[in-house]
Chain A
Amino acid sequence: MSQTTVNSDSPPARGDNALEQSLYAKRERIYPREVHGLFARLRLTGVAALMGIFYFTPWITWDARQAILFDLPARKFYIFGITFWPQDFIYLALLLIVAALSLFFFTALAGRLWCGYACPQTVWTEVFLWIERKLEGDRSQQMKLDKAPWSGRKLAVKGGKHAIWIVLAAWTGYTFVGYFTPIRELGQSVLSLATGPWETFWIIFYGFATYGNAGWLREQVCIYMCPYARFQSAMFDKNTLIISYDAARGDPRGARKRSTDYKSKGLGDCVDCKICVQVCPTGIDIRNGLQYECIGCAACVDACDDVMEKMGYPKGLVRYTTENAIEGRPARVLRPRVLVYACMLLAVIGTVVGSIVTRIPVGLDVIRDRNSLYRETQDGLVENVYLLKLINMDDVDHVYRLTASGIPGLQLKLDRREVLAPAGAVVEFSARLQADPYDLGSQSTEVRFTLAAVADEAITTTEQARFIGPGSGR
C-alpha cells in the first residue's frame, strides 16, 4: 500500500481536517524502530544523565541531612545549605517563572529541544522501550510477537517485561516520595512494610503513573495531554531550529538500485524506504512537513542519514534546519524574540539569585488580638494587644529585640525584654502598645514593629500593623 506517498505539490502541513481526524482517530500501536547515530547518542547521554540525577539526588547528604528535601510534614524545604519556609513562597513562584521563560527561550531558539531530550515523558519512555527491546527483540519481532497466539513463551516474555517495568516504576515512585520524606528512613519503613498510609499511597500513585505513561500511553501523552505541545507553535518562527525533510532535494521519491543514475530518471534523493516513519515514536511521516506531533527527537534524522550513507548520497536529507534555510532565505539566530526572552530570563534569574543572597533569615507575623479593639489603661492611655509570631530561618540560635514606631510617644510593653529563638524555630509571644489618645490622628493608625537580632544588626525585619483607638473626635 502506498497511501503514505504525498506528491510534492501538496501543502507541507496537514490541513485542519486531517489534523483533527488524526487527533481523535483510534490509536494504532506504534512500534518505534531502534536508531543509531549522533542524535540517538546525544539522547542516550541526556537520558542517562537525567535518570542519574533523579535517582541519585535524594541520597546526597549535606550537613548530616538530606541535601535536597522538600520536607512537607515539617513545612520546610532544604536545598543544600539553605532552608526555605512557606514565607519564601515567592522563590517558588519565581522559580516557576524561570522555568517557563527558559522553555520559551529554548523553544524559540531550537524548537522542541525539551521534548526530544529532557522531558520526563521522553526519558522514561526511552528506558521502557529499551527494556521492551531487550526482552521482545526489535521492531519486527515485537510485531510478530503481538500477532502470535498466546503461548508459554509469549506469556513469559510479556510477563517478564511488565514485571521489570513494574519494579522500575515502583522504584521511581519510592525515589519520588524520597524527595518529600527522608529517603533512608523511608527505605527502612518500606523494607519493614511500615510506611505510613500517605507515603504508601503516593509511592503507588507515582509508580503507577510512570508505568502507565511510559509503558502504555507513550506518544499519546505528547499528542493529547501535553499543554506545551499545543502552544509551542506560538513560540516558533521561521528561524526556529526544526527537523525538516528537504523536499526540493528528496522529491520525487522512488525506490531504485544503488547503482542507478536516478537523476536521469527524474528521481530525487528520497528512496522512499519509509525508515524515517518506522523510527518515529509518534508515528508521523516527517516528509509531510512540520507537524505538531513531532517531538523533535531527531530519530528520523539519524535514520535517514544512515540510509543516505548506504546509498552513497550526501547526508542531511532530513535534518535540523530552519524554515528560512529550507526556503533559501538567510537564517538568523539572534533575533528580537530570542533576545527579549533572553533578557527576561536573565532579569528573573538575577532577581532570584540576588534575593537569595541578600535574604534575611527572620520572619515576623503580627496579628491584632481579635478579642478587643482597644482598652484604656488607668493612666488614660489607649492600649492594643498584638500576637507576634517570630520565625528564625537561620541555622543558628538568635536573641531578638523588638521595637515599635509610628505614633509619637508610643510605648511597647513586653513580658520579656528579649526573645530567644532556636535555629529554625517559631516563637509566639504577645506585645502591648500604648499611646496617648491625643496623639492618635484617626481611629486606625499604622504602626510598625521592627525585630532585630541582638548579635547581628543586619538580621532585621519590619512588619506593619494597625493601632485602633477611639478616634480623634474627643
Chain B
Amino acid sequence: MKKYIAKRLLTAIPVLLMISIAAFIMINLAPGDPTNLYVMPDATPEQMEATRRALGLDQSYPVQYMRWLTRALRGDLGISYSTRYPVLPILVSRIGPTVALMGTTLLVSYIIAIPLGIISARKQGTWVDTLLTGGAFIGVSIPNFFLGLGLIYIFAVQLKWFPTGGMLELGGNASILSVLHHLVLPVAVLSTFYIANMTRYVRSTMIDVYGENYIRTATAKGLTKQVILTRHGIRNALIPIITIIGTDLPRLVGGAIVTEQIFQWPGLGRLTILAINQREYPMLMAITLLSAVVVLLVNLLVDMMYAVVDPRIKYD
C-alpha cells in the first residue's frame, strides 16, 4: 500500500507540470493585459513599458513560465499585482472559509441524500419514490445562481432569517454560531445539486444491489430486512457510491466559485473571480495548481477507500 501511494504521488508530478503549462498558456491567451490595470489611463508608452517590466511580462512566454516554475519549486508563488503581497499567504487565508463551505456542503448532502436514496429504492414505484425522484430531478436541473438569488430573496431579503452574504457579522463577531448562521444559505444552494445527484445515484445503486444474487441468499437465510440492508445492501452499494464522491469533490470546486460570488463568501472561489477580473496571473496559476493538487489527492483517497470497502481490491 505504501509503495502504491508513493508511486501515485510520483506520477502526479508530471501531471501537475502539464497542468501548470496548460494553465499558463490559457491565462496568457485570455484577452486583456494586466499592465493596463496598474497604470493611469493617461500613462505614456514608456511608463507602460516600465510597469510591464516590473511585472515581468516583458519576457518571452517560455522564459516567463520557466521563471514562474523555478520560483514555484522553491515555494515562491509570486506576488499579487494589486496588493503587492505574496500570493501564498493570501491563498492560505482563503482556504479555511472554502473548506468550511465545501465540507459542510458535502457532509449535509450525504447525510440527507444517502437515506433518501435508500428509501427511494426500497419504496420503488410508490408515491414516495416518485416524489423523491421528481424532487431530485429538479434538484440536479436548477442552476446555482438562480437558486442562490431565489433563496436570498426569500430567506434573507423578505423573511430576514439569514444574512444575505458574508461569513462574519460586521464588527467581527467570529463565534461559531454566527459563522453557521452565515453558512446556511450558501450550503443550501451548493448542496441542492449534491443531495439530488447523490439521491438519484444511491437509489439506482441500491436497486441494482437488491437485484444481486447475494441479497437473495441473505433473504433466504431468514435475516431481517434491517440486517440485509445494513450488512449486505449498503456495504456493497458503497463501492459505486465512492466513485460518485470522487467526482463530487472536483465538481464542488467549480460550484463554489459561483456560490461564493453570490454570497460574498470570503473563500477561494471569490478570490478566483477577483484574480480573473484583475488579471492576477500568479494568483490564477496558484489557484489552478492548488485545485489540481486537491483533485489528484482526492482521486488517490478515493482509490484507497475502494481498497477499504472492497476486499477484492488490493494495491500491492
Do A and B come from the same complex? no
Residues of A within 8 A of B (CB): none
Residues of B within 8 A of A (CB): none
